[in-house]
Structure 1
Amino acid sequence: MSARSTVTGGGAGAEHIPVAGQWRAGTGESLRSVDPATGELIATVAAAGVGDVDEAARNGAEVAAEPSWREMLPHRRARFLARAADLIERDRDELALLQTRDTGKPLAEARALVDSAAGAFRFYASVLETSQGVVTPPRGQHLAMSVHEPVGVIGAITPWNSPIASDAQKLAPALAAGNAVLLKPAEATPLVSLALARLLDESGLPPGLVSVLPGPGSVVGDAIVRHPAVGKVSFTGGTATGRAIGRIAADKVMPVTTELGGKSPTIVCADADIDQAVAGVLFGIFSSSGQSCVAGSRIFVHADIYEEFTARLVAAARTLRVGPGTDPATQVGPLATVEHRDRVAAMVDRARDEGAIVLCGGQAPSEPALSRGAYYLPTLLAGLANDAKTCQEEIFGPVGVLLPFSGEEELVAAANNTVYGLACGIWTRDYRTAWRLARRVEAGTVWINTYKQFSIATPFSGTKASGVGVEKGTDGIKAYMRQKSVYFGLDPDPIPWAAR
């Protein structure tokens, strides 16, 4: 069944969700999927309730414990992931269109995210093909080895800004590790996650291994995190929710991986290639309509080039094409919901109250054709100090703040003066400066003369209030496993202590 059938396909469409191996109506209050470009209803989507979570978790624990799955040789498990990658690629255009309609993303960006999802499944299939345990150096009359085993049931909670890529980034390594997964997509954007679930069914995965449970985080997400059968939670979203999950996990003594908010600095040095820097800074803050945890929202520019760079950046921002994601010319689509657009607008109004100068944007577009959508113009602000609320709190929209700097010590202090530590961009021709700043700025990822480039093979993490744990890379699969040490005694004589 193709991805599109999740919305259009008869009785098993959006009115049903996969719970414990069966597609059926959920017990929660149904959700409305709305096209943020037009305000039109796309679909009414079944939602899970607390009872569905309980059933899915208990069933998932049973399926994950079955020897046919838990003890399956890694290279055989890899086949399911490789097949999932093939199916995602087969339905690439349908999945991209579905994500564009649900989130407002431009189609080119949606296609890239679908490709990322396929790549995640293919990468972890290859990791399984080469996975191995470790025999540790002997320090006595024994042979010791370290092995990794599945946790059992994983709770995966994903955000609305890039659903299919975020889903795959958690599902692929968790399944590769031998677990069952309870996937809770964002309340506003569940469609592509349900489409992905159908493809996983088609891949031949054991029924019940993956349940998709749409619904409010305060109900469904909370029930997943608290359920005694859930042994690990991976969450991508806001810092406040991440802290709440951490408190519950502490009571359960349960590991978590959290990828949370950011207020990432982008640094433009005096010797930067200004053409490259302008293009990179624009992409870093305005792609995804600014709805990105790694958005380069604090733009530090050396005082020697501040005026020239600012003028060119503002001029370029004004030429960005704002429109529906289905228009191939669109660069900046609508925000995910009208409610979120209004929150972004309110934060820009607060910035004005703080003394910000609006260099461009600062409002919704005036074109009648865009009036029904959740649009907001690319916005650049100046005139604020780094300790202003606008410079410290994540806006999660197309809003950047320009901040001049003169010396490196001043720059590093300001860049690190935030509760967050997710990403950083550096624009300079001097590799020594690039290396020095990359090591001094507190961030999980640093881009030098580029921005928002990702690889499933490269670990991704945050520091401070931007999260704990690692996703992606070969370490990403270990995050969904428990490590165990096994000793074989080689001494033919009894342990001396017992002979006394």
Structure 2
Amino acid sequence: MYDASNITLPDGKLFVGGEWETGTGAEITSIFPADGSVNRVLHGASRADGERAIARAIAAQADPAWRGLKPHERARFLYAIADGIEANIDRIAVIQSRDTGKTLSETRALAGSAAGTFRYFGAVLETSDEDLTVQRGNALTLSVFEPLGLVAAITPWNSPIASDAQKIAPALAAGNAVLLKPASWSPLVSLELARIVEEAGLPKGLFSVLPGAGREIGNLLVEHPDIARVSFTGGTSTGRMLARQAAEKLMPVSLELGGKSPTIVFEDADINQTIAGVMFGVFSSTGQSCIAGARLFVQRSIYDEFVPKLVAATKRLKVGHPFDPATQVASMVHFEHRDSVAQYVTMARAEGAEVLCGGEAPDGDEYKNGAYYLPTILAGVGNDARICREEVFGPVLVVLPFDDEADVIAQSNDNDYGLASGLWTRDFPKAWRVGRAISTGTVWVNTYKQFSISTPFGGEKDSGMGREKGREGMRAYMAQKSFYVDLIGAPHPWAGAALEAS
């Protein structure tokens, strides 16, 4: 068991426009879901705290000391933040594990990913060119990109530091000020990131961390006239409400929402490789992932062979404490969320689902005080069952048979979500056909949950709108401005005789 006793948690003060202040909003209690102990009690941000952060951000973003920096000069701040994250990976990992219940192996990887994100967008700044467009008249035409001003980033509790970086890094690279609202269940690691950003020397006021109630601080960030863009990752119902609010002020948004991603196993798939990938795709992160492969379609010809092997392997997964290096499935983020997942399984049973494994909290003293739930596989329901339609956001997999390509494409697309999908086959042309036919933002072939900051990510249908990451991820936080520069120095002929008469 990893000894984390020497790691102190953030003290609970908020980072409000570059100043550490005690929040004046509602009380937030961060718990360690592995045993129910309290990490920290803090006060979240109130509307007044948010207004103060916005005022400081406006001044900081307009200051020529920031706004006038050349791209390679802004890049230095992103590199410094990346260095700071890498120097504190163990500390960040423990704080995030305490906040979310994730394994240390995962939270270390997420911290490393966050550092890589800042470094990548620093490199994007170093190598991004503006556009000299094709001349079609007597003017030199070009297009430049400028910061929007103030950007709000609203992030979820399941992978906070990686999600934070995915929004903060491109927005800062673009020259904006950023106001981050992390989820109330996981505020501490975002506050730790604020300390690192401050130590990197980012000009004061350009970054704030404002955990708090969505109805108060969230609504302020969406509705405030000086916020020029919102990037949101979270639930679909909240995303719809945010989009309506944004439409009132004609503000651009990016929305990365829920998913009910299909994973498809064809009869020619490598069985062992596929079982490992399917389990990782749905049970890693204790299933608390928007892209979890929660609907498993297995070709009927191998269904009776494949499913028992998958169930047997799933039963062998190590469920345990987040600090135990052997743990594969740790505690869930909160007891309320664990109970929500359990209710979905109860509902599935009522729909006629057969529980092939799991379906309950584990027994034993090591689990009794924590928010644990066993990896669960369900069968015996059709694709129209609620358990196949709604996002559970937990370690619950539904297995369904299919007959052929047309059948599985139809079943995969018969869902309101379209975030991700996985295909398992040795036949690449088949994978290409099926992958192109599925309504989804990401297709993994013979792998799952692999990410690259250089590759755009987003969803279709109720899974959201817009894309993040990649070189264009920075442009999403910029306004494009076109210039026409006269090349001939002569009066426009339209003036004609009127000019001569004068």
Q: 2:192 & 2:249 partners in 1: Cα distance?
A: 32
State which of 49, 54, 59 in structure 2 corresponds to 1:52.
Answer: 49
Distance in 2 between the 1:8 and 1:436 partners? 52
Counterpart of 2:110 in structure 1 is 113
Aligned-pair CA distance for 1:6: 13
Native 8 Å contact 2:246 2:252 kept in 1: yes
Cα distance in 2, alignment partners of residues 411 and 494 from structure 1: 66
Secondary structure of the residue aligned to 1:78 is helix
Q: Is the 8 A contact 2:7 2:91 kept in 1?
A: no
Match of 1:26 among 19, 23, 26: 23
Report what 1:211 is aligned to. Answer: 208
The CA distance in 2 between the partners of 1:131 and 1:32, in whole Å, is 43
1:498 match? 495
State the number of aligned residues: 494
User: Given that residues 7 and 191 in structure 1 are in contact (C-alpha distance below 8 angstroms), is that contact kept between their aligned partners in structure 2?
Assistant: no
1:209-248 alignment runs, 5 A limit:
209-248=206-245
Matched with 1:285 is 282
Q: Deviations over 1:428-480 (max 9, x none)?
A: 00011011111111110100000000001111111111111110000110111
2:12–2:188 contact (8 Å) kept in structure 1: no
Give yes or no for the alignment of 1:321 onto 2:314.
Answer: no
Q: Offset at 1:7?
A: 8.3
Q: Which residue identity does 2:290 align to in structure 1?
A: C
The residue that corresponds to 2:295 in the other structure is 298
Partner of 2:265: 268
Q: Say which SS state the counterpart of residue 30 (structure 2) adopts.
A: strand
| Secondary structure of 2:26's aligned partner | strand
Structure 1's unaligned 5+ residue stretches are none
Q: Which amino acid aligns with 1:237?
A: G
Percent identity among equivalent residues?
Answer: 56
Distance 2:25 2:238 in 1: 21
Return the offset for 1:234: 0.2
User: Paired residue for 2:74, among 63, 74, 77?
Assistant: 77
Name the structure 2 match of 1:353.
Answer: 350
Q: Does the aligned pair in 1 maintain the 2:14–2:20 contact within 8 Å?
A: yes
- The answer to whether 1:342 aligns with 2:335 is no
Task: Report how far residue 197 of structure 1 moved.
Answer: 0.3
Which residue number in structure 2 is paired with residue 15 of structure 1?
Answer: 12
TM-score normalised by the chain length of structure 1: 0.97
- 3-state SS of paired residue (1:28): coil
**Residues 101-157 of structure 1, C-alpha deviation per residue, up to 9 Å, x if partnerless?**
110001100110000000000000101111110100011001111111101000000
Letter in 2 for 1:383: G
Match runs of 1:399-418 below 5 Å: 399-418=396-415
Q: 2:450 aligns with which of 439, 447, 453?
A: 453
Deviation at 1:230, TM superposition (A): 0.5
Taking the aligned partners of 1:309 and 1:58, their CA distance within structure 2 comes to 59
1:5 is displaced (CA, Å) by 13
Aligned equivalent of 1:470, options 467, 470, 476 = 467
Q: Tell me how far 1:491 sits from its aligned partner.
A: 2.6
Whether contact under 8 Å (1:265, 1:424) holds in the other structure is yes
Aligned to 1:479: 476
Deviations 1:311-357 (A, max 9, x none): 01000110111111111111001110000000000010000011100
Q: Does the aligned pair in 1 maintain the 2:288–2:394 contact within 8 Å? A: yes
| C-alpha deviation, 1:46, in angstroms | 3.0
Distance 1:5 1:146 in 2: 54
Amino acid of the residue matched to residue 379 of structure 1? Answer: T
Secondary structure of 1:231's counterpart equals strand
> What is the CA RMSD across the aligned residues, in angstroms?
1.3
Which residue, 409, 425, 428 being the options, matches 1:428?
Answer: 425
4+ aligned runs moved over 3 Å, structure 1: 4-9
Give 3-state SS (helix, strand or coil) of 2:218's partner. helix
Query: Using the alignment, how far apart are the partners of 1:363 and 1:498 within structure 2?
Result: 82
* C-alpha distance in 1 between matches for 2:5 and 2:186: 16
Q: Does structure 1 retain, via aligned residues, the 8 Å contact 2:7–2:94?
A: no
CA distance in structure 2 between the aligned counterparts of 1:147 and 1:335, rounded to whole angstroms: 46
1:61 is displaced (CA, Å) by 1.4
1:347, 1:219 → 2: CA distance?
30
1:253 and 2:250 correspond: yes
Amino acid at match of 2:264: I
Aligned partner of 1:393 among 390, 393, 396: 390
Q: Contact 2:377–2:396 (CA<8 Å) still a contact in 1?
A: yes
Gaps of 5+ in 2: 498-502
Contact 1:14 1:44 in 2 (8 A): no
Quickly say closer, same or farther: Cα 1:115–1:37, change in 2 above 3 A.
Answer: same
Q: Which of 175, 186, 190 does residue 187 from structure 2 map onto?
A: 190
CA contact (8 A) 1:187 1:217 kept: no
Match of 2:500 in 1: none
Distance 1:471 1:45 in 2: 31
Distance, in Å, in 2 between the alignment partners of 1:227 and 1:327 is 45
SS at match of 2:129: coil
1:175-234 CA distance string (max 9 Å, x none): 000000010000000000000000000000001100100111122111111111100000
Looking at structure 1, the residues matched to 495 and 421 of structure 2 have their Cα atoms a distance apart, in angstroms, of 59
Cα distance in 2 for partners of 1:135, 1:129 equals 18
Cα distance per residue 1:48-93 (max 9 Å; x no partner): 0001111111211121111111120000100000010001000000
| Aligned match of 1:331 | 328
Does the alignment pair 1:90 with 2:114?
no
Matches of 1:246 and 1:147 in 2, distance apart?
28
